[in-house]
A and B are shown apart, each in its own frame.
Chain A
Amino acid sequence: MTIEDRQQEIISEFAMFDDWMQKYEYIIELGKDLPLISEENKKDDLLIRGCQSKVWLHAENKSDGTIHFTGDSDAIITKGMVSLMIRVMDGMPAKAIAEADLHFINDIGLTSHLSPTRSNGLASMVKQMKIYGAIYAEHA
């Protein structure tokens, strides 16, 4: 599956929800289910500081040129969003990550979470994922 395929999958999942509550209930569930980032990786240098909630992102460059992401947040809704981002990007080739066009957030009606003014750290997290992609693609 490509990054685009994964985005389409999420979009069709969200199309089943009738209202915002179902959408958020799903995101909250995702947040609860996200495998915890190991405590050793919950360090300050992996912390993406939003004004409101914190996001931790850990990237591991695999020998096959893909990147494995783990992440966490102190807020459960942010964590659910982190889970969606990781689902789209995890295990993808570095170059594809660097060039990814993440339109699914907009398509599922959660754009406000990515706006810089939302200050939840998600916009910075996407940027950080792409930076990892660019760096590892360079060194591949």
Chain B
Amino acid sequence: METAEEKDQLTLIRDEFPILHQDVNGYPLVYLDNAATSQKPLSVVESITDYYLNYNANIHRGVHYLATKATEAFESTRKKVAQFLHTPDHREIIFTSGTTDSINLVAQAWGRMNVHSGDEIVVSTLEHHSNIVPWQMLAEEKGATLRVIPITPEGEWDLSTINDIINSKTKIVAVNHVSNALGTVNPIETIILRAKYVGAKVLIDGAQSVVHFDVNVKDLGCDFYAFSAHKIYGPTGVGILYGKADVLDAMAPYRGGGEMIHVVSFKGTTYNEIPYKFEAGTPNIEGIIAFGAAIDFATSLDKEFVKHHEEELLNYATQKLKAIPGVKIYGEARKKVSVISFLVDGIHPFDLGTLLDNQGIAVRTGHHCTQPLMEHYGIPGTVRASFAVYNTLEEVDMFIAALEKAIFMLK
């Protein structure tokens, strides 16, 4: 159970999220859909307002006061992200519209130059559609093959055949750090080592990881790391692509437009340097500035508290769920973040989701954009409860009580 001190800390954190303090369908809102998107602290909301009220201007090109101020705020987020991922070179941080956009950028800008007929691309069974479809499209265009890392019944990667799956034909390995559907924390270090050994590039989909634990891209040694701002307290429509400078340098831009050029003439165009050559067009300025505030918020949290509290939420909810007859948890990896996918015997996840919603409990039901994974388990989908640092053990109790009521009604 929480200590008094932890309770105080939690209250302070919850106070930063006004949205949590409301009733839904006559019940206090219990928001357990954090893996879909996190809620936003006041500082992030205020950052957007502040930008529009005080220094809205288009960035980089203007010489006037507002443009300079907006550009500085915008670029300061890039530096914060670089620090957040532990790279000393902020040119390695590219702003995109989200994880999906980041992955597509690599699949197009890097993939089309480097993947050829007969080559292989490696993903895993745990991938989100966003980290499958862009590679399928590339493979189809190039005549390359998609190889898939299988999983164990517990929802961990089965690495017994990894030396066969990642081989000399492998051009890129694109896998997630944390599974969005099951919460599994994947041993990406092992995969990166193997990929490096065969000379393949590695892209890590970090959409579900950065909000839970510290990520050091230099220690990891991956070539690309992608994530979305909105899953870590930031606004929607902002994504990050980290790429090693030399890898990015060697890539041609894949979207043409303003900002990404050096000189344009009708005889030909030369491109800007990294990161700008991948940032064509006016970006989501207010979103990126507010993401700076989100990183400030995330890094202001006591890391030990976050780790301990999220583990407590996960363990407590897991234990309570397992005590309910007929509940089956999908994904029982040894290393998990605070995400629980489950089904109740004989009950469709949609029915549970509907009755939970009527009791103010926000969970996600369905296939979680991981149809190959659901197919692997032979299920239509799951109910997924995903916890954030601002959730409480009381909320777990409310969730369990609401679930028991739903099961009683449906049985």
Question: Is B409 an interface residue when CB atoms closer than 8 A count as contact?
Answer: yes
Considering the complex, which residues of chain A in the window 6-37 have a beta carbon less than 8 Å from any beta carbon of chain B? 20-21, 24-25, 28
Q: How far is the CA of A52 from the CA of B349 in the complex (A)?
A: 8
Residues of chain A within 8 A (CB-CB) of B351 are: 28, 75-78
Q: How far is the CA of A120 from the CA of B405 in the complex (A)?
A: 22
| A51: nearest chain-B partner, CB-CB | B366
Q: How far is the CB of B259 from chain A (nearest CB, A)?
A: 34
A74 touches B348 (CB 8 A): yes
B355 touches A24 (CB 8 A): yes
Interface size on B, residues (CB 8 A): 18
With A25-B409, A53-B348, A74-B348 as known contacts, state yes or no: A20 contacts B366, CB within 8 Å. Answer: no
With A76-B351, A78-B350 as known contacts, state yes or no: A52 contacts B409, CB within 8 Å. Answer: no
B348 touches A75 (CB 8 A): yes
Question: Is B22 an interface residue when CB atoms closer than 8 A count as contact?
Answer: no
Residues of chain B within 8 A (CB-CB) of A77 are: 350-351, 354-355
Q: How far is the CA of A77 from the CA of B358 in the complex (A)?
A: 13
Considering the complex, which residues of chain B in the window 387-411 have a beta carbon less than 8 Å from any beta carbon of chain A? 405, 409-410
| B406: nearest chain-A partner, CB-CB | A24
With A21-B409, A24-B358, A28-B410 as known contacts, state yes or no: A120 contacts B25, CB within 8 Å. Answer: no
Interface size on A, residues (CB 8 A): 16
Considering the complex, which residues of chain A in the window 53-86 have a beta carbon less than 8 Å from any beta carbon of chain B? 53-54, 74-78
Considering the complex, which residues of chain B in the window 350-365 have a beta carbon less than 8 Å from any beta carbon of chain A? 350-351, 353-355, 358, 365
Q: How far is the CB of B101 from chain A (nearest CB, A)?
A: 22
B380 touches A74 (CB 8 A): yes
Question: Is B183 an interface residue when CB atoms closer than 8 A count as contact?
Answer: no
| A20: nearest chain-B partner, CB-CB | B358
B358 touches A52 (CB 8 A): no
Considering the complex, which residues of chain B in the window 333-348 have a beta carbon less than 8 Å from any beta carbon of chain A? 347-348
A52 touches B25 (CB 8 A): no
B410 touches A52 (CB 8 A): no
Q: How far is the CA of A120 from the CA of B351 in the complex (A)?
A: 10
Q: Which 5 residue pairs spanning A and B have beta carbons closest together? A: A75-B348, A75-B350, A52-B350, A53-B350, A77-B351
